[in-house]
Structure 1
Amino acid sequence: MSFIIRSAQHDDLNQLVDLAKQFNLLNLPGDKKVISDKIDRSQQSFEGKLPKNQAEYLFVVEDIEEKMVVGSSLVIAKHGSEEVPHSFFKIFKRDHFSQDLGIGFIHQVLRFQLDFDGPTEIGGLLVDKSYRRRPEKLGKQISLSRFLYMGLHPEKFEQRVLCELTPPLTEEGRSEFWEALGRRFTGLPYQEADLLSQSHKEFIESLFPQDDIYLCLLDSKARLVLGRVGEATKPAQHLLESIGFSYLDEVDPFDGGPHYGANTSEILPIKYGRRLKVSEFKDAAYKEQGLVATTGDEFKVALASADVRGQEVALAPKVRQLLDIEVGEEIYMSPFNYNRGR
């Protein structure tokens, strides 16, 4: 079975809507108008027609044989500007000590922050439920492939990358953290506030407390989920950690979900990405597995076995055909598997 990762096209609209409806992602909802607009924005972004603070790149993974879009991922080139700042709670520690009692406490506090010069953000990671747990590891492929595009075009992105991970929610989709904090300051239910925040940020800045909030004053259920990752999101967390992301001691102001981040140049698919010239070797042994990306106008990626020798690489004819690559052309290749000690 053959899979290819590429930029989203308008022909993908109906399949992308069906895919998004399987899930409930805020930055990729199952709404035809929203996804159509995202494809428009993505195409303009790939063509270099939008400024960085408006650019979004939508990638899809296609099952070539079935002609089916079975996964997606998204990169927001800049999340946080003067017009629309990025908001979060930073977690700090504060020491309190009583000389009279001879005892002290280290308290965790939340401090509301706004970033007017924000990082690049990744999100929108979806894999069709019927394609999960396949040996091709499609979730990993679609997640890592976007970093190859970033490695090829560093000028289009920021020097830091952020990922907001989903925390544990109740069976009804409610956030205990929001109930304990956000709802008290806005009067809004969680889903409504989170949806509103996608297009309107002013109410967050105006209504959220500017003073430090002591965590010990929050409901125990809210403290329990703060900075935690929901079960369904743990594979994404582990993948991010394996390529250089770490917890930033920052959480989402709505649901308390953890923010993970990394310096762009230190993310392993970018750090180990290489431009190589496609060649043919008589005795080619395709022992190295990696993600291979085209470097021309049309961005495409496939998981491939390769024989790398210096600045040259031999790829199986099937892979060259899949990516429409000729001998003598340049490709960009990154490893698919990373050892922590690499």
Structure 2
Amino acid sequence: MSFIIRPVKYDDLTQLVDLAKQFNLLNLPGDKKVIGEKIDRSELSFAGKLPKHKAEYLFVVEDIEEKQVVGSSLVIAKHGDDNVPHSFFKILKKDHFSEDLGIGFIHQVLRFQLDWDGPTEIGGLLVDKSYRRRPEKLGKQISLSRFLYMALHPDRFEKRVLCELTPPLTDEGRSEFWEALGRRFTGLPYQEADLLSQSHKEFIESLFPPDDIYLCLLDSKARLVLGRVGEATKPAQHLLENIGFKYLDEVDPFDGGPHYGANTTDILPIKYGKRLKVAEFNDAAYKEQALIATTGEDFKVSLGSADVRGNEVAIAPKTRQLLEIEIGDEVFMAPFNYSNRGN
């Protein structure tokens, strides 16, 4: 089968809504109106017509043979500005010592923070359930491909990249952390508060306590999920760790999910990616598996085999055909596997 990763188009609307309905992602809900607006915003963003704080880039995986959208990923160019700040809890340690008793404790506390000059954020990662566990590793492809676009257009993104990972939730989709903390200060159920926070942050700033919150005062169920990653999200966590992301000792103020981050230039597909000129070698040995992206206005990515020699690359004919690449064109190429490279 043949797959390409490309920017979303309005023609993808129906298929993308069907895909999103398989899941329950807050930043990509299965709602035709919301997804239609996201496609509009994405098309304007790729065209360079939106300021950074409003730009969102939505990528899709297309099964070329079936003409079917089977996956997606999202980049929010700037999450947190003067109008809607990025909010989180910083986890800190505080020492307390009693001279009288001769004993001390190291307490973990949550400190509410607002970032008015926020990072780029990645999210919206979906793969059709019938396409999972395929040898092409489509989830990994769609996740890594967005970094190739970021490498080609560094001025469109921030110097830091954030990913908010989903923590363990109850079978009913409830957050034990929110029940123990957020609900007591806002009176709102978790899903309603999380949805409202996408566009309004004032209620968080106004109702959340400004003082440190001692974790020992929360019930055990809430403490247990704090900073943890849900089972379904662990593959995404491992992929991020492999390419340079680290836990920031920060959590989401709603569900306690961990925030992972990295400096943009340290993310391995960006760090190890390079521009190359397409050539043809008589003795080409296509031994290197890599993500290969076009560098023109029509951005496309495919996983393919290549033979790199200096600043030139010979690309397997099937991949060249998929990406509509000619000899002499420039491509951007990044490794697909990072486990032996270290962070």
The TM tier, using the shorter chain, reads over 0.9
SS in 2 for 1:235: helix
- Would the aligned equivalents of 1:245 and 1:267 in 2 still touch at CA under 8 Å? yes
Paired AA for residue 308 in structure 1: V
SS in 2 for 1:179: helix
d(CA) in 2 for partners of 1:264 and 1:148?
Answer: 11
d(CA) in 1 for partners of 2:95 and 2:36?
Answer: 51
User: TM-score w.r.t. structure 1 length?
Assistant: 0.99
**How much identity, in percent, do the aligned residues show?**
85
**Which residue pairs with 1:255 in the alignment?**
255
d(CA) in 2 for partners of 1:143 and 1:296?
Answer: 21
- Would the aligned equivalents of 1:15 and 1:68 in 2 still touch at CA under 8 Å? yes
Shift of 1:323: 0.3
d(CA) in 2 for partners of 1:299 and 1:103?
Answer: 62
Shift of 1:200: 1.3
Q: Deviation digits for residues 236-288 of structure 1, max 9, x if unmatched?
A: 00000000000000000000000000000000000001000000000000000
Paired AA for residue 90 in structure 1: K
- Would the aligned equivalents of 1:59 and 1:142 in 2 still touch at CA under 8 Å? yes
**Which residue pairs with 2:67 in the alignment?**
67
d(CA) in 2 for partners of 1:6 and 1:157?
Answer: 18
**Which residue pairs with 1:201 in the alignment?**
201
1:190 and 2:190 matched: yes
**Which residue pairs with 2:122 in the alignment?**
122
Runs of 4+ in 1 over 6 A off after TM superposition: none
d(CA) in 2 for partners of 1:77 and 1:311?
Answer: 30
d(CA) in 2 for partners of 1:39 and 1:156?
Answer: 18
- Would the aligned equivalents of 1:4 and 1:61 in 2 still touch at CA under 8 Å? yes
Shift of 1:198: 1.1
Paired AA for residue 75 in structure 2: V
**Which residue pairs with 1:53 in the alignment?**
53
Residues 64-103 of structure 1: matches in 2 within 5 Å? 64-103=64-103
Paired AA for residue 80 in structure 2: G
- Would the aligned equivalents of 1:284 and 1:314 in 2 still touch at CA under 8 Å? yes
Gaps of 5+ in 2: none
Q: Deviation digits for residues 203-224 of structure 1, max 9, x if unmatched?
A: 0111011000000000100000
SS in 1 for 2:206: helix
Q: Deviation digits for residues 177-198 of structure 1, max 9, x if unmatched?
A: 0000000000000011111111
d(CA) in 2 for partners of 1:85 and 1:40?
Answer: 23
d(CA) in 2 for partners of 1:122 and 1:340?
Answer: 24
SS in 2 for 1:223: helix
Paired AA for residue 241 in structure 1: E
Gaps of 5+ in 1: none
Q: Deviation digits for residues 312-334 of structure 1, max 9, x if unmatched?
A: 00011111110011000000000
- Would the aligned equivalents of 1:242 and 1:340 in 2 still touch at CA under 8 Å? no
d(CA) in 2 for partners of 1:56 and 1:91?
Answer: 29
**Which residue pairs with 1:300 in the alignment?**
300
Paired AA for residue 284 in structure 1: A
Deviates more, 1:195-204 or 1:303-312: 195-204
1:25 and 2:19 matched: no
Deviates more, 1:63-72 or 1:331-340: 331-340
**Which residue pairs with 1:148 in the alignment?**
148
Shift of 1:341: 4.0
User: TM-score w.r.t. structure 2 length?
Assistant: 0.99
Residues 326-341 of structure 1: matches in 2 within 5 Å? 326-341=326-341
**Which residue pairs with 1:161 in the alignment?**
161
| Aligned-residue RMSD, C-alpha | 0.6
d(CA) in 1 for partners of 2:302 and 2:226?
Answer: 37
d(CA) in 1 for partners of 2:316 and 2:165?
Answer: 37
Paired AA for residue 38 in structure 1: K
SS in 1 for 2:38: helix
d(CA) in 2 for partners of 1:283 and 1:24?
Answer: 49
Deviates more, 1:331-340 or 1:167-176: 331-340
d(CA) in 2 for partners of 1:340 and 1:160?
Answer: 24
- Would the aligned equivalents of 1:73 and 1:146 in 2 still touch at CA under 8 Å? yes
SS in 1 for 2:111: strand
Shift of 1:340: 4.8
**Which residue pairs with 1:244 in the alignment?**
244
Shift of 1:339: 2.4
- Would the aligned equivalents of 1:274 and 1:334 in 2 still touch at CA under 8 Å? yes
d(CA) in 1 for partners of 2:162 and 2:317?
Answer: 37
- Would the aligned equivalents of 2:84 and 2:199 in 1 still touch at CA under 8 Å? no
d(CA) in 2 for partners of 1:272 and 1:196?
Answer: 39
**Which residue pairs with 1:172 in the alignment?**
172
SS in 2 for 1:298: coil
Paired AA for residue 251 in structure 1: V
SS in 2 for 1:130: helix
